[in-house]
Amino acid sequence: MTHVLITEDDRYLRQNMVDILELEGYQVVDVDSAEAAIEACEHQQFDIALMDLVMSGMTGVEAISNLRQLNPFMAVIIVTAYATVDTAVDAMKKGADSVITKPFNSSELIVTLKRSIQEKQLLQASSDIDPDSVYSALANGLRRETLKQLAAHKQLKFMDLCRLVGVDDHTKFNFHLRQLKKAGLVMQNENKIYILTNTGQFVLQNHNLN
């Protein structure tokens, strides 16, 4: 069973998140501050934490290092109403696995949670992500097109992705895919099929790729 920690100082939103996830069969503990989240992690191991960015006292991002010491393999999602690409990159540099923007619906919350847990299992620690590599990925037209095709088709095999992007040189395309993976924007699932990460989804929604 998946254990989820929700940290949100808006009581109504916090209860709404609890209701959504409990209906999906998750075991949920909810608290209203980062300090309380750290205390909860001292007594229990969690698979994933949903952390509000701005709260009285410590912020969600500031709490990540403490949470990681107590639950090293826990995925962390930062929840914020003031999201930008810079916010996401900063949160990832400090250990977050992804960012979700308020307001969100129940299906978006569940998809983000499931994808973050999967990413935690398949990707290296997000602290390895280099913000420069994110912007480098976005500066290249072929990589931008790759992200847009993955957004449109959800998941693609290597050869299908080559065809849609219009690349004949597979070695060259492999290089670009490695850069997108290094930037934390693209990943391969257990079947080696390419999909966007939560970060990739977020960047697409908050950055003009035309």
- The full set of domain ranges for the chain reads 3-128, 131-206
Residue 51 near residue 63 (C-beta atoms within 8 A):
yes
pLDDT above 50 for 185: yes
Q: What pLDDT digit, counting tens, does each position of 149-178 carry?
A: 999 998 999 999 999 999 999 999 999 998
Does the model's pTM come out above 0.85?
no
**Which homologous superfamily does the CATH classification assign to the domain defined by 3-128?**
Response regulator (3.40.50.2300)
Q: Do domains 3-128 and 131-206 have the same CATH topology?
A: no
Higher pLDDT, 135 or 156: 156
How is the beta sheet containing 155-156 ordered, strand by strand?
155-156, 194-196, 186-188
Average pLDDT over residues 6-24: 96
- Four-way CATH pick for 131-206: 3.30.9.10, 3.40.190.10, 1.10.10.10, 3.20.20.30: 1.10.10.10
Q: What pLDDT digit, counting tens, does each position of 22-68 carry?
A: 999 999 999 999 999 999 999 998 999 999 999 989 999 999 989 98
Q: How far from 9 is each of 13, 17, 173, CA to CA, in Å?
A: 8, 12, 45
